[in-house]
Structure formats: structure tokens, C-alpha cells
Amino acid sequence: MRLLCLATLALAGCSTVPEPVASTNGIIDAHRHAFEQGMPGDTAAQTTERMDAHGIGISAIHFATRETYEEWGRGYEDRFLKGVSFPCWRDGSGEWFACQWDGAAYPDLEWLRDEAEAGRLTHLGELGFVYAGTHPADPEMMPYWDFAAEFDLPVMVHVNRGPPPDGGMRARGCCPNFDSDMGHPDLLRPILERHPDLRIVLQHFGFPPMPMFDNIGYVEESFALLHDYPNVMVDMTAFQSVPFVSAEQHAAVVRRMQEEGLLDRLLFGTDGWPEAEIIARYRAMDFLSDSEKRAIFHDNAQRIFPTRN
């Protein structure tokens, strides 16, 4: 898996190799969403304005329906990388909630194959196993892991035990089958044993044990996965933004990544949180060199996303 500008990557199964996207010197945001069905979110034009205001050149968008995947961002194709979020779930009334693929929990694989071969699909994710209460190695998931490996697509996975039901970050009516245990990073080990070269991004990395997460944290398990599998990467969305996590706590985890030689695995992402505050936090980390900051803001992401037309 390479990002938008590595010309050396050939997508397996494709009859032609897409031309690489022109590189950008701007920040690459590896974690954004396009919402519908009453969920908060910006239009593509509004999102682009926000990106421009903060020096973000490209954002990876995680779509939750086929309609938004196909329509959102039309006219701004050079600014967005397109991925698909699943497994989807039904709310307490039995209706699909902000996530469904033509009335199903999973997108159609043949359609995904067409999108990958055309160079439009650049990643899978966000995969929300905690929301759906689904194990990452569920038999229904296995063809999607195989597909990602075949096309060398990075897979963005929601890890950790949140968001909690009463913390203001889980949407109202969401997820009657929510299962915090499905956010354990060790559940990804069977997938990585099956596909050791697969690039998996652990989203929401870094949260320590906290009462809102049942005093359970997966920091050590996540670091172990990083050391065991050189293709595993992370973003620190929410941890770097939420009011109850200080800049000092955020910096301590980044410093540990530096000390353990893992800074080439850290991606910048916002998850829709205010961009300026996150960027300012990283820029204020005086223990990071300029090249290390550039890696976090841009170069690490540039390595992992595939080329496309």
C-alpha cells in the first residue's frame, strides 16, 4: 500500500496501473467522515474551505452509504480519498442508522472491486466493529480482508472501547449491539497472520485506562502490535482533541513512539475535530524535529494510500 503519489505500486488484479496523484506539500488528513441522515457534517465545499484554512491538502473520507460515496465530493475529486465504512448496524427501532450499503451491513464486493480497479476506492474504513458488535475475524468479514490484501488497500480500524454511551460522542439511538470488547487490537492478530503485509491503521490509538472505558486501556497491546507488524500504523484521533485529555498526555505518547522508533507509523487525522488545535499541539512538541513533524503531517500518509487515476 502506498499513498497517492507512489508510482511503484501496481494494484493486484487490475488490467492497468493508475497514474499517481500529484504529490501535495499540504497536510494529509487520514481520518474524516461524510455524514447523512441527520448526523452532523459539512458539505464537500465546506470541508474544502476548512482544509484550505488549515493547510490540509488532501483528506481521506470514510463513507457510510453508497449514495454519499458516489455523490459527496463531486467536483472536488482531487482533494479527497474515498473509503467505505462498515459493518453497519440498525438502531433500536430496527432502522438502518447513518450506515447501510443498499440495505445491507456490508458493501457489495463486486462493486468494491470495480471501484478499486477504476482507482476510485483508496481504502477500507472506518471499520467500526465496536458499533456493530462484530468480531474482526467474523466469517462475513474475511472476504473483505482478502480483498484489501489483493488490492493492497490500507484498512482503517476503530480500536479501543469507546465512545461511551453517556460521553456525548456516541450519536443518539446508535448501536444496540455496541460491544467495547471488539475494540481490542489483539483481535486483529489473526487477520495479520493471514495477511502479514496488510496495512492496518489503528484509529483512536493512545487512550489510557479511564473510567469512561471501564478502566481498561489498550496502549500496551497497541504498541505490541506495532512492534510485531511493521505495516501497522496509527492515528490519535479524539485522544489528541477531547477536552479531558491534556496536551501533555498526548505529547507523552508521541514521545514514546519517538523513543521506540515508531514515528514513521503515526498519521495525522482529525475525525472532524477542530483542525487548528490538533495542528498546534503537534507543532508545539519541541522534542520533534522538523522532518518528524513533516512525517506526521504528510510523509507517513503519503506512503500508505494507493495510487489512483
> Residue 65 carries which DSSP code?
B
CA 153 to chain centre: 12
Are the beta carbons of 239 and 269 closer than 8 angstroms?
A: no
pTM equals 0.89
For the chain, what is the mean pLDDT?
87
* Cβ neighbours of residue 252 closer than 8 Å, sequence gap 6 or more: none
Among 106-120, 169-183, 232-246, where is mean pLDDT lowest? Answer: 169-183
- The CA distances from residue 275 to 27, 29, 69, 250, 270, in Å, are 11, 9, 23, 15, 6
> Residue 180 carries which DSSP code?
G
Asked if residue 84 has pLDDT above 60, the reply is yes
Q: Rounded distance, CA 19 to CA 4, Å?
A: 9
Give the DSSP H or E segment for 91.
none
CA 143 to chain centre: 19
Percent of the chain with pLDDT over 70: 86
Quick: pLDDT tens for 35-76.
754 455 789 999 999 999 999 999 999 999 999 999 999 999
Q: Rounded distance, CA 165 to CA 170, Å?
A: 6
Are the beta carbons of 124 and 153 closer than 8 angstroms?
A: yes
pLDDT band at 308; cut points 50, 70, 90: very low
- Which neighbouring-strand residues pair with 157? 127, 202
Give the per-residue pLDDT at 305.
Answer: 85
Are the beta carbons of 235 and 254 closer than 8 angstroms?
A: no
Quick: pLDDT tens for 136-149.
999 999 999 999 99
Quick: pLDDT tens for 191-202.
999 999 999 999
Q: Rounded distance, CA 129 to CA 88, Å?
A: 9
